[in-house]
Every structure is written in C-alpha cells, then in structure tokens.
Amino acid sequence: MVKLTFYGGVNEIGGNKILLEDSGTKIFLDFGMPFSQVGKFFSEFLQPRQCNGLGDFFEFGLMPDLKGLYREDYLKHMGRKPEDIDYQGVLLSHAHTDHSAYLHHLRCDIPIFCSKPTYAILKALNDTASGSFADLTDITECFETYMNTKGTISRKNARTHPEIRRDRKFQIFEFGKEFKIDDIRVKPFNVDHSLPGATGYIIYTSSGTIVYTGDFRFHGRRETKTIEFMETCEREKPDLLIIEGTRIDEESSMKEKDVEDEVSTVVSKSEGLKVCNWPVRDTDRMMSFFNAAKKLDKKLTISLKQAYLINLLKECKDAEVPDINDENLALYASRKSWGLIGSDWNKKIIGEDYDSWERNYLDGSICYKDVHDSQKEFMFFCTNFDLKELVNIKPMKGSVYIKSVCEPFDIEMEIDLERITNWIGHFGMDLQKTHVSGLK
C-alpha cells in the first residue's frame, strides 16, 4: 500500500515536500522552502532564528514536525530527546531553493539522491554562502561545547574542532540508470529547466508507477531531454502523475536561442557599458550572454561565486558552461569590507576583504577600475546586490541595462523593481528586457 502526503507544493509555487511511504520505506520527493508561506511571516530583515533550532520553522508551518527526520544538534538544543532515523532518502529534482533549501535541517545520515550537476550547485551554495542555513552538502554541528585548557567550558567551532563538520550522505546517480531505495525502484531522467541537472523521476512502487516531473520546460538548451522524458512516461503508462505547473496557461514561442540573439542586438547597438542581469545560477542564460560576447568580441564579467560554480559544473557532462579562461570572459571581484581591491595595498591586506574561497580567484580578477576604464568593451554581470558597484564604475553616456530575469510576481519584488528602476534612471542607462521563462 502506497501513501502520499503533501507537506508543501500544492496550490503554491514550489515548497515541495512530498512524503512517499511504501511498505515501511519512507522517502521525500524534494524538501524545499515554501516562498509564499515564508513571505507571510519573514523578509530579508526578519529571518527565522538558528538559536531556536527548528522552532521558528515549525511555528509557521514551514516544515512538518516529524520524528526521525531532523538534525540532532537542533533537536538537542530544543530540549528534545534523541530520535532514531526513520527516513530512507530524499529524491531531489533540482537545486532551486523552493525544492532543496530545507535540506539544511535534515539529519546528515539520510541519503540524498540527485544528479551530478544538482550536487555541484548545492556544493557551490554550501561553500560560498554568506548567511546561515546553507548546510546543504555538509553540516557543521551547532551548540557543542568542550573543556578548554583552563578547565572551563568553551563553545566549539569548525576551526578549532574540524570534526564537528560532517559530510551529508549523497547518492549521485547517472541519468537513465535505475537504482533502488529498499524495494522501490527509481529511474531518473534529465529535463530542461533554468539550471543544469534538473531531474524527472519514474518511481516503481508496490502499488504502481508514479511519475514525479519536478520543474521542467521545453524552450531551453535541453529541450530534447524533456521531450524524451515525456515520451518515456507515455510508454510507462504511469498510475499517478505528480506534475509542476506554474505557467501552464501561458504560451511562449520564444526560445533560449532567441534571448541570445536579442542580447547580441542590444549589445551591438550600445555605445557604452552593457550592464547585464540574469539569475545567478542559470548557466543556460549565462551561455546566451557569453555567446553574444564572443560573437561581438566583448568581455563578459562573471562574479566569483559564478566562477566557483562553473569550476564544479565543468566536471559534469550534463552541464554546458563557459571556459573560465576564455578571453571573452573576466572574473569580477566586487568591493567588500574595506573595499581595497584595485588599490596599491599589498596582496595580503587586500585579500583580507574576502573569504578564503574567494582569495583563490583574486589574482586573475578584474575590478571596478578595469570596467570603468574600458566601458565599451564590457558586458558587466550585475545582480541587484551588485548595483552598488556602479557608483564606482560610473556608467558612461550610452550605457544600457539588460534585464533578463522574470517579471515580479509578488509585492516585495514590485518594490525591488521600483528601486532598481531608480538606480537605472540615476545612472542614465537605457533599460532593455529579454527573457523567456516557462515553468519555473
């Protein structure tokens, strides 16, 4: 007898946490953050507290209070008794926050099944995150103490006690290769989505065949993958279909290749700096901007976080990313902390502005001065957080801002959009939009 319980993902965008139980085996399909529910109670400046363990998340129904699922350091800190592991795995469809962010809270001995690119993206997030709640591929146990040399109690941290850092149990699969979780057989398929590694599953249970699509689309660089998956599903004649549908009532004939052509047209017409905004981890979109840069012999800047991600993704045959050493690509280091990048201070002092993983990239990086001095040559990647760099870059007359992210779908994003429009106006840039979305 198979039982499905939806702890998220119904009548909302993402937030998928679907429990599948079959003859004593319990697996979750995704374990994501429910954007709409989180948005009701929290914002950028009003965040759940780590000091309350899982309490703030349970309080607002962001995660279900289930035994044998969550990390032991948090449970102990909340005064709960130790629990035995009671779940055999999580099948992850892809690395978007609304499908994967709450992995942070899970016990590290629960196996997480995912594709190689999905693991690479989670690892990049894990290693380069600046905030809390990013223990996606390894966990650092919190609230641990030890007896120090003076005979008093001190708090442990990962620097003095590296053993509190433990790897999660990942099971990385090959697309098309069946695997088993107890008696449940699972076959993963690559689908096209706005980041690499997205997976659709065919799950063979004791009561029949279930298809779980995850997020997918048909207009990106891996369109044929989605078609192949759908054709396979048709042949398998599933008993149950769990499918995502954010924009099923919309039709778009635009393809990723069209975005690339539009970007090329806008860039070729611009007389100044080209400021480009696309979703950070959408490497397909990055390829569209990169291909345009190559065609027009411009230099596309990417952030250090993107460089870190590309280095992990280049090992995955299922992900297409630019070569980090390509002459039309440049690594851009933002001003941080004291903001000494590009100054005469020595390497060590400048390096102190950055996290250790970032320092490895500083030697080959450029900064605001380089972009300021050769504005016509650059396509400058700029998220909303990077707008501040423009104060130092000082976009020249004839500069353009190419917005290649989705339209706002909630109040907070509307406000953001207004603010961003003010920045674009302040620097006298021409606003151009190019985007193709589809199922989120």
Q: Of 18-26, 209-217, 335-343, 364-372, which segment contacts Zn ion by CB under 5 A?
A: 209-217
CA distance 204 to 202: 7
> Nearer Cβ to Zn ion, position 97 or 311?
97
SS3 357: helix
Please state the closest distance from residue 215 (CB atom) to Zn ion, in A.
4
Q: Where are the alpha helices (DSSP H) in 270-410?
A: 283-295, 304-313, 347-351, 356-362, 368-373, 389-393
**Residue number, 12 or 56, with CB nearest to Zn ion:** 12
**Residue 309, CA distances (Å) to 38, 115, 302, 318, 323 in order:** 27, 15, 11, 14, 12
Shortest distance, CB of residue 247 to Zn ion, whole angstroms?
A: 12
Among the candidate windows 212-220, 229-237, 318-326, 399-407, which touches Zn ion by CB under 5 A?
212-220
Could you give the CA distance from residue 152 to residue 206 in angstroms, rounded to a whole number?
Answer: 56
How many chain residues bind Zn ion (CB under 5 A)?
A: 2
Q: Minimum distance from CB of 310 to Zn ion (Å)?
A: 20
Q: Give the one residue of 17, 26, 77, 96 binding Zn ion; rule: CB under 5 A.
A: 96
For residue 85, count other CB atoms closer than 10 A to its CB.
Answer: 12
Report if residue 215 touches Zn ion, rule: CB under 5 A.
yes
Q: In angstroms, give the least distance from the CB of 255 to Zn ion.
A: 18
Identify which of residues 320 and 377 has a Cβ nearer to Zn ion in the complex: 320
Candidate segments 18-26, 210-218, 303-311, 326-334, binder of Zn ion by CB under 5 A = 210-218
**Which helix (DSSP H) or strand (DSSP E) does residue 36 occupy?**
helix 35-41
CB of 226 to Zn ion, least distance (A): 13
- Least distance from Zn ion to the Cβ atom of residue 193, Å: 6
Q: Is 282 in the site for Zn ion (CB under 5 A)?
A: no
Locus of tokens 């060590």: 348
Report d(CA 62, CA 57) in Å as an integer: 5
Residue 242 near residue 30 (C-beta atoms within 8 A): no
Element (H, E) at 114: strand 112-115
The least distance separating Zn ion from the CB of residue 216, rounded to whole angstroms, comes to 9
Length of the chain: 440
Residues contacting 126, CB < 8 A, separation 6+? 134, 135, 136, 137, 138
For Zn ion, give the closer residue by CB, 95 or 266.
Answer: 95
Residue closer to Zn ion (CB basis): 284 or 353: 284
Positions touching Zn ion (CB under 5 A) are: 96, 215
